[in-house]
Each structure stands twice: as structure tokens, then as C-alpha cells.
Structure 1
Amino acid sequence: MSFMINIGRILFVALAISVSPVVAQIDTSSSDGLLKAARKAAFDENNYPQAKAYLYKAIEKSPNYSDLRVFLGRIYTWTKNYDSARICFEEVLKQNPGYEDACMAYADMTFWNDEDEKSLTICEEGIKYNPKSEGLYLKKARVLNSMRRFNEADKAVQAVLSLNKNNTEARALANRIRENAVKNRIGVSYDFVTFDKQFSDPWHMVSVDYGRNTGIGSIIGRFNYANRFASNGYQYELEAYPRISNTFYSYVGLAYSDNVGVFPGWRGGFSLYANLPKSYEAELGVRYLKFSGDPTYVYTGYIGKYYKSWLFGARAYITPSTFTSTVSSSYNLSARYYYASADDMLGFNIGYGVSPDDRLNVIQLNGVQQLTSYKAGFVFRKKFAKFNVLVIDGSWLNQEYLPKTIGNQYQFSIGCLRRF
């Protein structure tokens, strides 16, 4: 009997402890309590009418409490009552000019409704009162990028990074702005590959490319020359990155060579990219390869995450057994550290298998038998003289190129990119 009484006491205490926070949360005797109750109703219960009721009551108690009207304005925004949201934000800014939370919420609402000029004005007014606001500078950069005022957008995002170099959203946005900021780019690179067993002669490859930003996105043409297997070959490529929205853009590529054996006869691809919340990015796509026989389709997926000054990524390529004797795959993990601007980067990668996006080694996918290989590499990028970028990378490939026969491959590349 005493055992049952003790159990009852324990359960009563546990129940009292678990209930007491809830009671505290729904205490609506003060404006702060009503604001907490409104947040709980909106976020935990998805009950916007109840949240608004709490806020109406709180505003009656404290009509000059800015956070109440800002949160009410956000709820109106989420429920698409934009005129009511506008009244809330403007009332706060009338009472408290430059109030940071109101400026950020109002800038979001106008941006989401394609009022870029209005959103930009709100951001700039807020920055006058809050010159060290990472959030307002970031929203300003986002709006300017949408307006295609890329040089100004770059200045705004660099202001964020000067305040906090580990701001992951700013780092992700800076990479997108960088590609849009100039109209033209030209690049040249040289790759050297040597083998300890598989081939007696090294490989050489020279690439020259020209890219231009257009109203729909960037377009790049590339010419490749390679010397492999003691033979010369030429390849012609065309790539485009059409923009679909502020969230989505795509990749379309096609390459041709009449020197099959040095290059694939045809190589193509399509991908859909997404700039996701929480500083994530993702890609789904397909690649096309045709040597001398039947074509092969390879499916790919990628997920990346910005964290402070780092970008971590994971990618997979899957080739169904329809196109090979068995299902084959390759995988890659990467990490990039941005030590200054979006063009100043040190990266590392490890992987399994040969990627169809690897221009240097894709020729080794020519065959039904899939090779087992492991790869590790690095890349170094450094901006100099403002519009130029030096790129150096190297890799090691350990490959079973014949059954139970393993060899090593060493690659070194140097290139330069000029934007103008």
C-alpha cells in the first residue's frame, strides 16, 4: 500500500512539473505574457486567429509596445493580408523611426510581393538608424540582386561579411552575386596527369572558355584540347545557367568531339538547382554520355550547407543497370573554406568512382566494366588585381584499372579567370 502511495506522489509531482510551464505560458495578465501566448499560438499551434486575438488585447494594454505590432504585421503577411500588415509596420515606424525588427519585417513583405523599390527604400532607411545590422544589409543585398544591380548588391553583402565573416546566408548570397556581377569572363587552364602503371605517357589538356551574363542567365562556350593515348583531340562545349526565380536556376550543357577515344563523342546534362532556407543548396540532374556505342544516362543529386565560412557538400552519381552490366555509382564529399571574398577559397574533396562531370577522367567511363577507384584532392582559388582569379588544384586517384591490378594517377592543374 505504501508503495502505491509513493508512486502516486511521484506521479502527482511529475504532473505538476509538466503542467506548470504550460500555465506560465498562457498567463495573459501582461503585454509580455500576451505576446508569448501569441507566439505559442502561431508557431506551436498554427492558430493565427487566436494569436491575433492575444495581440489585439496586448495592444490595448500597451499601444506603444512596438514588438506587438511587428508580430501582428508578420501574421498579416503570412496570411496574405498585406494592407493590414503595411498599416502595422508603418505605425511602428511612425512611433519609432528605424526600428530594426519593423524594417526587416516590412522589407520582407514588400520583397515577397515584388515591390523591390519599396523594399530597398525600407532597408536603406533602417540602415541609417542601424548601421551595424547584418539582417538589413543582407536583405538589401538580396533586393539589389533581384533588381540585377549586382555591383551594389556585392557591396551590401560584403558589408555583412565585414561585420560577421561567418554569416552563412551572406556567404551563400555572395557566391550567387559574384557570378552575376560582371557581364563577361574569360578563362584558361592547363591540366597534367601522370600514371605510375596504367599508361606510359602522361595526359595533357588545355581549356579556353568565354562566358557572358545575359537577361536569362550566364552562357559559357569552351574549347578543349587534349593529348591522351598518344593521340590529339578537340572538344567543343556550350553551357547555360538559366535563372527561373530567386530560388531556382538550372544548368544545360552539351559537348561534342569527333575524336572519340580522346573525348566522348557527345556529353550533355541538365540540372535543377535550388537555393534553400537555412543556407542549404540542392541539385537534381541527369548526364548523357555517348562514346562509340549506345548512350549512357547518369543521374545525380547534391546537397550543400553553408556553415560560417565553410561550404560542405555531398554528391552522388547513379548509373542504372539499363546502361551498364550492373548498377554503378560514384560519390563525392567536399568542403570549401572561404578565407576572404567569394573568390578566395581553399577546398578539399574525397570520393569513390569516376564522375561524368570530370572532364579529365570521363573518358575512363568508356566501357561496360566499371572501374573501382578512390580519389582525394584539393583546390585553391585566390583573387588578385580585383577582377582576376588564380586557380590551382591537384588530385590523387587510386584505381583498379584491371582485375586485381591497382595503379595511381596524379593530376595537377593551373588556371586563371578574368572578369570584365
Structure 2
Amino acid sequence: MKSIYYSICLLFISFITFAQETNVDETLANAKREVEKGNYDKALTLMDPLRAKYPQDEDIQTYTGRIYSWKKDYKTAIKVLSPLTDRVNPNIEALQAIINVYFWSENFEKCNLYCDTYLAINPKSVEIIQIKATCLEKLNRDQEALELIEKASFADNSTQAFKGIRTLIGRKAKNAVSVSYLNISTSDPGQSPFHYGYAEYSHKFSKSAIVGRANIGNVSNETQMLFETDFYQTFSNKSYLYANAGLSTGETIFPVAKAGLEYYFKPYKKFEYSLGARFMHFDSDDITLLTGQLAYNPGIYSFAYRPYYDTSNELFSHVLSIQRTNEEKERIIRLELQYGNVPYLYLYNNFTQPLKAYRIGVQYQHRFGDSFFVRPIFLYEDEEYIPGQYRNRFNVQLIVTKRF
């Protein structure tokens, strides 16, 4: 009789235990469904009784900390997770959760320290190494980040996970040098090709940049030089100012003197816009161009429109561009459609006439390694060279840049 009684008691206890376990699993499943819907407060309401009933269950505590982090209540998330991470034998899942908390809250110093604790336990975690490298880059400890990436890439036999970080570090380079050659040829009828080239050096400061450029042009066996400077100044509201000034050694291939100013306003959502002007002084004439730009950037593509108005000759030109950018690889492909009187690259001379020109061009930028860029450019024009008469005009350019 006693054996039957004990058997019934054990069966009853087992049933209660099974019911409790089922209840825990069901509650966690319901909480996860609420998280997937973005209902973080409701999910936390479901988790609170479990935390109170099973305070030693680290999986429950860790998941609760994650919910607070997804809710962006980082302070509470740290309070929940810290007891599991700040001890001799930290919980590995809680460590990963608190690393995300500090990373998302942009506390990169703390995040970096917890990454070290995690990697002491699991040194081959590519995900945590990537987060640590990003923290180092944000802290401007770029050399440490690159050394970590090199070590991890060698061990993992892959650099794919770290290309974005390398790109961010590469863009911090303060200096760059570029050289370019441009050939302008015509046919039906043809004439001797024009040759242009330049060499430039640019340097970035914390909130500004300056570019020095020496241009050379050879047209009809005559050679002239143009020396110019570009200056960029950024402002705290993400707007910036562009200024240009130049002097030449001649009067025909290049203007005797030139100047430009354009203000790029603070972006509005996915739109960017600017207003500016260009002034060119020739020996026998002055030319003023009014310009501006409206650009729409929905993602990897950018659509832009830029008009030019020549106030002296009352001429309008229009440039429409579509550009696709791969930020990680710093790769660009750009299509341009142009109509009007402004020549390729806006190399204005004093032989301006109210003639039509239709243009289509493409350019491509490719990065080799971390800091070497090659940009080939081709633009075809159907050019009205005398009223009612058209010819072919081909613009071929190559730009090579090295940043350091």
C-alpha cells in the first residue's frame, strides 16, 4: 500500500515539474514572438515572472538583457548583464550580449575591453574580432586595428569580413597625389587633338581640405599652364563650402584668372543641394557661370542634376548624372548626359559661341589594394561646330590617385 502511495506522489511531483518546465518553455517562446514583432515591453512583462522565479537561470537573465538592449535601454541592459560578465568565469553568451550593448551605445572603450575578455575565452570568433577592430578604428587606434585584422585574416584565411574596416581606415589618409591625362579628338571633320594634363596634391585637416593643382594644355601647337587651388571647409551641420582660385600663363587655352565658390547645404533626408558660381577672366572677355546641384541618394545609387548658366552669353547647359557606388570597395560607375555649351570638364576658353552639343559619358573608379585608384573616363559629343553643322568629339581621360 505504501509503495502505491509513494508511486502516486512521485508521479504527481513529476507532473508538476513537467508542467513548470513546459510553462517556462512556452513563456520564452511567447516572449520571442513578441520580440520579433517589436513589442519589447510586452516581452519583458513575460520575462519578469521567470526572472523572479529562477534568478539563478543565466539563460533567462541573458535573454532579458538582450531584450533591454534591443529596446535601446542600454543602462538597464548593462545592469542585468554585468553580474554574469564581471566575474572570474563570465558567461560567454552574456559577454556577447554586453559587447553589443556597448557597441550600439557607442561606448567603444568599454566595448573593446569586453571584446578582450571574450577573445580570451574564444580567440577565433571572427564576429567579435570584427567588432573589436571597429572599436579601435572609432578610437583612432588605426594601426592596432590593422594589426588585429592582419592577424585574424591570416588565421581565418580570409579578409572579406574586414574590408569595410580597412576602407574606413584608408579614408582617414591625410594626403593624396593624382596625375591625369586628357585627349580631346574630333572627326567628320577632324582637327589636331587637344592635350591636357594635371598633377595635384591634396591634404585633409580635421574640418577642411586643400588641393594644389598644376594643369598643362597643348592646343594647336601652343602650350599653356594653369595653377589653381581648391579649398573645402566643413561645418558642424554637415554642410560645406567649396572655393577655387587659379592663374594661368596664357590667354586662350585657359582663362587668365579664375575663381569659384559653391555652398553645399545640409542634406535633407536623402536630398542634397547646392548653389554657386564660377568666374573666368580672359584677355578680351569675362565669363560668369551660375550653377548649383540637386541630388537624390536613395542608397547605392545617386541621381543628380546640375545646370550652368553663362550670364555673359545667355547660354544654358544641363548635366544629368546617375552614379552607383560600392562604399566598401570604393568602386564607382557613373553615367552622364549633358546638353549645352559647357565643354568637357568645364575647360572654358574664350571661343564661346551659342552652339549646341549633346554628350553622353561614362566613368569608372577602381581601387587596387587599400590606397591606389584608377579612374578611366570616356565622353562622346555630337558637337555643332558651326551653325547647322555637327561633328564627332571624343574625350578620353585617365586619372590615377595614390593616397597616404
Output the TM-score relative to the length of structure 2.
0.70
Deviations along 1:23-77, one digit per CA (max 9) or x if unpaired, are xxxxx95444433432433442x43321111122343566565554344224434
Task: Tell me if the contact between 2:200 and 2:214 (Cα under 8 Å) persists in the aligned partners.
Answer: yes
CA–CA distance in structure 2, aligned partners of residues 257 and 200 of structure 1: 27
Could you say if the C-alpha distance between residues 303 and 223 of structure 1 is closer, same or farther in structure 2, counting changes exceeding 3 Å? same
CA–CA distance in structure 1, aligned partners of residues 399 and 316 of structure 2: 36
Specify the code of the residue in structure 1 equivalent to 2:33. K
Could you say if the C-alpha distance between residues 97 and 120 of structure 1 is closer, same or farther in structure 2, counting changes exceeding 3 Å? same
Q: 2:17 matched to which residue of 1?
A: none
Q: 1:351 matched to which residue of 2?
A: 336
Could you say if the C-alpha distance between residues 178 and 112 of structure 1 is closer, same or farther in structure 2, counting changes exceeding 3 Å? same
Could you say if the C-alpha distance between residues 288 and 118 of structure 1 is closer, same or farther in structure 2, counting changes exceeding 3 Å? same
What displacement does 1:121 show? Answer: 0.3
1:153 has 2:142 as partner: no
Matches within 5 A, 1:358-397: 361-363=345-347, 371-383=357-369, 389=372, 391-397=373-379
Matches within 5 A, 1:131-146: 131-146=123-138
Deviations along 1:195-218, one digit per CA (max 9) or x if unpaired, are 133763322121221314x4x346
Secondary structure of 1:97 counterpart? coil
What displacement does 1:325 show? Answer: 6.6
Matches within 5 A, 1:7-406: 29-44=22-37, 46-60=38-52, 63=55, 66-77=58-69, 81-93=73-85, 97=90, 99-100=92-93, 102-113=94-105, 115-156=107-148, 163=156, 165-167=159-161, 170-180=162-172, 182-183=173-174, 185-197=175-187, 200-212=192-204, 214=205, 216-217=206-207, 219-227=209-217, 229=219, 232-240=224-232, 242=234, 252-259=241-248, 262=254, 265-271=258-264, 284-286=272-274, 288-291=276-279, 292-301=286-295, 303=297, 312-319=300-307, 328-334=318-324, 348-353=333-338, 361-363=345-347, 371-383=357-369, 389=372, 391-402=373-384, 405-406=390-391
CA–CA distance in structure 1, aligned partners of residues 212 and 105 of structure 2: 39
Secondary structure of 2:359 counterpart? strand
Specify the code of the residue in structure 2 equivalent to 1:174. R
CA–CA distance in structure 2, aligned partners of residues 273 and 298 of structure 1: 14
CA–CA distance in structure 2, aligned partners of residues 173 and 283 of structure 1: 27
Secondary structure of 1:353 counterpart? strand
Higher Cα radius of gyration: 2
Specify the code of the residue in structure 1 equivalent to 2:360. Y
Specify the code of the residue in structure 2 equivalent to 1:86. I
Unpaired segments ≥5 residues, structure 2: 1-20, 280-285
Task: Tell me if the contact between 2:289 and 2:308 (Cα under 8 Å) persists in the aligned partners.
Answer: no
Identical pairs, percent: 15
Could you say if the C-alpha distance between residues 258 and 78 of structure 1 is closer, same or farther in structure 2, counting changes exceeding 3 Å? same
Secondary structure of 2:140 counterpart? coil
CA–CA distance in structure 1, aligned partners of residues 59 and 303 of structure 2: 43
Task: Tell me if the contact between 1:191 and 1:414 (Cα under 8 Å) persists in the aligned partners.
Answer: yes
Task: Tell me if the contact between 1:161 and 1:171 (Cα under 8 Å) persists in the aligned partners.
Answer: no
Secondary structure of 1:86 counterpart? helix
Unpaired segments ≥5 residues, structure 1: 1-27, 277-281, 306-311
Q: Which moved more, 1:50-59 or 1:68-77?
A: 68-77
Q: 1:3 matched to which residue of 2?
A: none
Among candidates 389, 393, 398, match of residue 413 of structure 1: 398
Deviations along 1:195-253, one digit per CA (max 9) or x if unpaired, are 133763322121221314x4x34623222313165562424223447585xxx966543
Considering only aligned residues, what root-mean-square deviation do their CA atoms show, in Å?
Answer: 4.4
CA–CA distance in structure 2, aligned partners of residues 241 and 139 of structure 1: 32
CA–CA distance in structure 2, aligned partners of residues 301 and 103 of structure 1: 43
Count of paired positions: 358
Could you say if the C-alpha distance between residues 50 and 360 of structure 1 is closer, same or farther in structure 2, counting changes exceeding 3 Å? same
Q: 1:6 matched to which residue of 2?
A: none
Could you say if the C-alpha distance between residues 121 and 289 of structure 1 is closer, same or farther in structure 2, counting changes exceeding 3 Å? same
Specify the code of the residue in structure 1 equivalent to 2:346. V
CA–CA distance in structure 1, aligned partners of residues 29 and 260 of structure 2: 57
Specify the code of the residue in structure 2 equivalent to 1:415. V
Deviations along 1:72-104, one digit per CA (max 9) or x if unpaired, are 22443455644421122223335873625x334
CA–CA distance in structure 1, aligned partners of residues 348 and 322 of structure 2: 17
Task: Tell me if the contact between 2:302 and 2:324 (Cα under 8 Å) persists in the aligned partners.
Answer: yes
Could you say if the C-alpha distance between residues 31 and 165 of structure 1 is closer, same or farther in structure 2, counting changes exceeding 3 Å? farther
CA–CA distance in structure 2, aligned partners of residues 326 and 218 of structure 1: 32
CA–CA distance in structure 2, aligned partners of residues 336 and 235 of structure 1: 33
Task: Tell me if the contact between 1:399 and 1:408 (Cα under 8 Å) persists in the aligned partners.
Answer: yes
What displacement does 1:187 show? Answer: 1.0
